[in-house]
Amino acid sequence: MQPPSAPSYSSGLVWFRRDLRTEDQAALYHALTQCQQVHCAFVFDTDILDVLPRADRRVEFIRETLVELDAALRALSGHDHGGLIAVHHAAAADAVPDLAAALDVQAVFTNHDDEPQAIERDGTVRTRLAAQGRALHTFKDHTVFERSEVMTQAGHPYSVFTPYKNAWLKKVDAFYLSSYPAERHAARLAPRPAGHRRPVPTLAALGFEPAGLAQLKIPTGSQGAHQLLADFVERIDKYEDTRNFPAVKGPSYLSVHLRFGTISPRLLARTAHERARQGSPGAATWLSELIWRDFYFQILYHHPHVVNDSFKPAYDAIAWETGPEADALFAAWCEGRTGYPLVDAAMAQINQTGYMHNRLRMVVASFLVKDLGLDWRRGEAYFALQLNDFDLSANNGGWQWASSSGCDAQPYFRIFNPVSQSEKFDPDGKFIRRYLPQLAGLPNAALHAPWKAKPLELQSAGVQLGGNYPLPIVDHDTARQQTLERYAVVKASA
């Protein structure tokens, strides 16, 4: 990082968003090095919150994390004035300019958010601040490389992952992976003005109810993120071998922390990169997944049409199933009533915890689109509602990959068989039995396809097909043939 110059502003405001930490936080660092005094704020944006269910794990996660962030800022600054971060509950496009005026700061500092709605909001904030004679400065913080930093030799954004990854790895160095030492300048954190010394609002004050975060034992804040990282580093060398098995402790479980920025993506990439250079195949694989994250962010930035349409326009010609029967199939998928145990267990996992193992995300997405013939957008929207780690770029990219409509997606004729996926990745049925206890008594050989079980096996296990567990709502082989016919309209584009 370049050494900071003398402060150019007497006062500034850091607008925290998807970057809820003090360590290696770009906007906080730049504000502290460019301002003599720095105020901090977070806005529970009503434009986002008002469309959420009243019990939402993500809102609870953010609220608990803000309590820790407030304490961390107080500890850094040495101030103890009823909380250092000003937390507001309003439309951010209004609240940020109003707060900047109330605090009489000269500039607002925040980090990029490349979702189309966020870009529009930030444009509004910039215009309103400019009308007040104040500046808005934004920075890269949520990725290692963003926007147009990794481009083809012709100067175009990549649409295929492998060459993007190769270019990413060729460009990355110690500079791009280094940290912003905000703590060195913490003395410039301003004490909270008397009129702004309110604690972080309760969930009830925000109009929300507890969503069971404590019962799920989901660690919050930077402390929780670093605990997970420390645990994962002990397992990272085996990641390549364990990552596909949902009953095994293979993943890092850091996705929700990456989503809300309670840990630096530079720290994670630096950790993986260093370990990979030492010869760890697990670290190399995990680094590749972090690069996928950057890849999907730059796709969203350069191709915002993917929010509503297929990356490949030809795929929007596909005729998806519609009507009451399609709605019933969708409801069965959402509720884990498809009759395919691995699919149903995965849906039980997301419904109960807000988390779904990455292998299972691919399996259930393929099932919705290519077994049930339903529009990928329906599944994408359901995941957006349920996932603790919901991120528009990754969720959209994943669903378009599964439906073959996205950039560098799986071929349209690749259709996951939910039974063989179950036999391969949950061979002992540990995951299925955890989330579908009504099937727990079945032997392994019958667990993955109960409709093929012998009557005595079903009776002994207390399983009543069509009773306490549904019969399959679709025949996979028949559905596969229908999918190939459905996708015939895009064969020329495949």
Dist. CA 89–CA 85, nearest whole Å: 13
pLDDT band at 4 (very low <50, low <70, confident <90, very high): low
**What is the strand order of the sheet 107-111 is part of?**
85-90, 35-45, 9-16, 107-111, 135-139
Pairwise CA distance, residues 451 & 265, whole Å: 45
Residue type, 65: T
Q: How many residues does the chain have?
A: 494
Q: 3-state class of 107 per DSSP?
A: strand
| pLDDT at residue 123, as a whole number | 98
Q: What pLDDT is stored for residue 316 in this prediction? A: 95
Q: What pLDDT does 1 receive? A: 52
Class of domain 142-178+222-302: mainly alpha
Distances from the Cα of 349 to the Cα of 182, 231, 383, angstroms: 38, 22, 12
pLDDT of amino acid 196? 78
Q: What is the arithmetic mean of pLDDT over 268-290?
A: 98
Which CATH number is 9-141 given? 3.40.50.620
**Per-residue model confidence as pLDDT tens digits over 451-461:** 999 999 999 99
The pTM (predicted TM-score) of the whole model is: 0.95
Task: Domain ranges for the chain, please list them.
Answer: 9-141, 142-178+222-302, 313-488
For residue 261, give the nearest of 68, 50, 84, 30 by alpha carbon: 68
So what's the pLDDT on residue 194? 78
> Is the per-residue pLDDT at 357 higher than 90?
yes
pLDDT at residue number 7: 83
Q: Does residue 146 surpass a pLDDT of 80?
A: yes
Residue 299 pLDDT greater than 70, yes or no: yes
b/e burial code for range 320-342 (CB count within 10 A of at least 16 → b): eeeeeebeebbebbbebbbbbbb
Give the phi and the psi of residue 364 in degrees, each rounded to 5: -70, -30
Reduced to 3 states (helix: H, G, I; strand: E, B; else coil), residue 251 is: coil
107 pLDDT higher than 60: yes
Query: Residue 81 has what pLDDT?
Result: 64
Cα(26)–Cα(87) distance, integer angstroms: 20
Active site residues: 289, 292, 320, 358, 376, 399
User: Is the distance from CB of 63 to CB of 206 less than 8 angstroms?
Assistant: yes
State the chain's mean pLDDT as an integer: 95
* C-alpha to C-alpha distance for 263 and 254, rounded to whole angstroms: 9
pLDDT digits (tens, 9 = 90+) for 209-264: 999 998 999 999 999 999 999 999 999 999 999 999 999 999 999 999 999 999 99
Nearest to 419 by CA among 347, 363, 379: 363
Confidence of residue 5 (pLDDT cuts 50, 70, 90): low
- Are 9-141 and 313-488 in the same CATH fold? no
Fold of 313-488: DNA Cyclobutane Dipyrimidine Photolyase, subunit A; domain 3 (1.10.579)
- Identify the pLDDT of residue 48: 97
Higher pLDDT, 494 or 184: 184
Lowest average pLDDT, out of 144-153, 182-191, 434-443, goes to 182-191
Average pLDDT over residues 12-28: 98
pLDDT at 491: 73
* Mean pLDDT computed over 56-68: 98
